[in-house]
Structure 1
Amino acid sequence: MRPDRPATALTPFARLPRAYRQSHIAHSTVDAHGRAHWLLTDMPPASQLDEPHDARVVTVENGRPYETHLSGVRLRHPSLGALPDGGFVLADARSRPGEEQVQVFDALGRPSWAFRVGDAVEDLLVDETGDLWVSHFDEGIYGDDELSWPGLRRWSGTGDPLWEYRPGPGHGPISDCYALNVGTRAVWACPYQDFPLLEIREDRVVRVRENPVEGARGFAVHADRVVFFSPYGHHDRIVDCRMTRDAVRPLGYGRLLRADGGELGRRRRSVCRGPRIYVQEKPFLEWGVLDISVT
C-alpha cells in the first residue's frame, strides 16, 4: 500500500435551521434522493414511556427547509427513513416479542401502517422505490426473534417480507452487519466476521469479494473503486481501494476531516448511498458528504 495520502475534508451538505435547534434530535438521515431529514421531539423519546406523542420531521432539500408533523409516535429509540411519496418510516432499534416496532406515516404525518422487522436494528435505509433495507447487529441475529436471524432483509413499505440474506458459496452467515450501502442499482454490505464485500442485485448476492479492510463502519462505491471509512482502530481513516472480480485491493489510506478542516469526533452517524458517505457529528446539526464520483 502507498504511504498516507493527504487528508480529505467533507463537503458541507445540509444544516438544521437555527429555529429548530431547541428541540431534541431523535434521529437524522439522508434519503435516496439526497434530502436531509431530522426527527425532532420536545423531549427525548425514551423519556415519554409508551404514551403516543407528536413529533416533526424537518427536511432540507437544496438548502430549503420544510417540516412535516407526525402524530401518534410510539417509539422510544427510533431510526428515521423517508419514503418517495413524502411519507416517513420510523423503526425502533430494540423490540419485545410481538411488538410492532415499525411505524409508517403518510405525507400528512398520519400513522398508516405498523409491523415488525425483528430486534436489534443496525441500519434502516429506504431505497428509491420505497422498500426498506434493514440490517441487524449480533444481539438480534443470535437472539430469540427469527426475523433478525438473517442479518439483512428487504421489506415493503407495508411490512411484506421481500428478500432475506442467505449464506452461499464464499459467503457465510452474517454475525453483525457492520456497514450497509443502498445505492441506485445495487445494495452492498460488509458484515462480520470476515468482512467480505457483498454485492446484491435483483434479490441475490451476485458477487462476493474478499476484503482485507476489517471493521469499517461505512463505505462508498463507484465503478471499480470502493472507499472504506472508519475501520478497526481508526475512527477517521479512509482506505482507498480498487475492486477486481473477486477481491478488494487497498491502494492507499488517509484521514477524513470535518468540512471546516477540524478533526472528526468519535460520536457520529453515517449514511452510505452509492458513491457517497454522509457523515454527521454530535450534536447532529449538520451533514457533510464525501462523494467519490467527483474526487
Structure 2
Amino acid sequence: MESVSLRPYARLPRAHAGREILHSTVDAFGRAHWLLAEPGRAEVYDALVVSVDDGQAQETHLSAVTARFPLLDALPEGGFVVADARRRGDADHVQVFDALGRVSWSFAVGDAIEHLLADESGDLWVGYFDEGVFGDDPLSVPGLRKWSVTGEPLWELPLSTAGGCMADCYALNADRSTAWAYYYTDFPLVRIGGDGTARVWESPVGGAKAIAVSDGGAAFFGGYGRDGDRLVVCTLAERTAAPYLHTTLVRPDGSPIGPRRVVGRGPRIHVQAAPYTAWEVWDLGESG
C-alpha cells in the first residue's frame, strides 16, 4: 500500500531549545503555538508562548499560570487560553490571558479535558475523555461542550443525538463556526452547525485520533495498535462516510510518525511528532 507524506508546516526556533514544551497547537487561523516554561516549574509559574506564522516568530510572556497539565489555544483578537486538563475540586482551572500575557478571566469547564479548540469567533469547544464523562464533575458529563471565552456555557451534546451518548471524545475539529466530533463507543462523525444542530454520519473506522473535513469529504487518521498511522479518506453520503482510500500517513522523509500530537482544523490534519518541536500537515483539500 502506497503511503501519503506529511509536509513541513512550522518549527519552534532553536533559541528556545532549553525550555520545557508544556503543550503546542495550531489555531483557527493556521498559526502554530508552543507553551514553554523553565524546567522544574512551581505550582504557579510564568510561561512563554512562542507563535510561528508563515515562518515569523513572536513571543508572549504569560504571568501566574496555574495549569499542571496545560492545554493551550490562541484567541482571535490576541491573547491565549490555558486550561488544566484535570480540575481539582471546584477550582477554576481555565485562564484567559490578554495580548500582554495578563490574566483577564478564570472559570471552570469540567474535569478530564481531552481537546480544547477556540474557533474563529473565540468560542471554546471542549471535548472530554471518559474520566470526565463518568466522573463526579457535572460540567464534563455531556462529553462535548461549547463555552464563551468568559466561561458562559453555550451548548452541549444532547443525549438525543443520533450518534448515541459520548463516552470519550477521540477527535475534535473546529473550523469557522462549525465543529466536528468523533467519539467512543460507536465512533459516529457528528457535525455541529453554528445554530447548534447536529448531523450524524456512520464512520467506517474506530479509534481514530484526528479528523479532517472538506467539500463533502472526510478523513480519519489513527487507530488502535498497528493502525496508529492509518489514514482513511471518505465521501460523505447521506448517512455514512464511505471510504475510497485506505493508506498510511508518514513523515516528510518517509519514516513512521511515532509518538505525536494531532490537531484537526477544517481540511487539515496537523501532526507534531516527538520531540514536539515541529508541526507537519496533510490537507484533505489537496488530496486529489
TM category (shorter chain) comes to over 0.9
- 1:35 is matched with which residue? 31
Instruction: Give 1:27 deviation, angstroms.
Output: 0.3
What secondary structure is seen at the aligned counterpart in 1 of 2:39? Answer: coil
Q: Is the 8 A contact 1:163 1:203 kept in 2?
A: no
**1:118 alignment partner, one of 98, 110, 114:** 110
Aligned-partner Cα distance in 2 for 1:229–1:125: 18
Q: Is the 8 A contact 2:177 2:194 kept in 1?
A: no
Instruction: Give 1:16 deviation, angstroms.
Output: 0.2
**Gapped regions of structure 1 (runs ≥ 5):** none
- 2:4 is matched with which residue? 8
Establish whether residue 145 from structure 1 lines up as the match of residue 137 from structure 2.
yes
Establish whether residue 95 from structure 1 lines up as the match of residue 95 from structure 2.
no
1:109-167, CA deviations, whole angstroms, 9 ceiling, x for partnerless residues?
A: 00111100000000000000001000100001000000000000011111111111112
Instruction: Give 1:44 deviation, angstroms.
Output: 5.1
Aligned-partner Cα distance in 2 for 1:136–1:294: 31
Change (3 A) 1:241 1:57: same
- 2:251 is matched with which residue? 258
TM-score of the two chains, using structure 2 as the length reference: 0.97
Aligned-partner Cα distance in 2 for 1:70–1:292: 35
Aligned-partner Cα distance in 1 for 2:262–2:65: 24
**Gapped regions of structure 2 (runs ≥ 5):** none
Change (3 A) 1:75 1:206: closer
Instruction: Give 1:185 deviation, angstroms.
Output: 4.4
Instruction: Give 1:211 deviation, angstroms.
Output: 1.4
**2:49 alignment partner, one of 30, 33, 57:** 57
What secondary structure is seen at the aligned counterpart in 1 of 2:285? Answer: coil
What secondary structure is seen at the aligned counterpart in 2 of 1:37? Answer: strand
Instruction: Give 1:262 deviation, angstroms.
Output: 1.4
Moved over 3 A (4+): none
Tell me the C-alpha RMSD between the 2 structures: 1.1
What secondary structure is seen at the aligned counterpart in 2 of 1:181? Answer: strand
1:255-286, CA deviations, whole angstroms, 9 ceiling, x for partnerless residues?
A: 10112221111x21000011000000111000
Instruction: Give 1:225 deviation, angstroms.
Output: 1.2
Identity %: 52
Equivalent pairs counted in the alignment come to 286
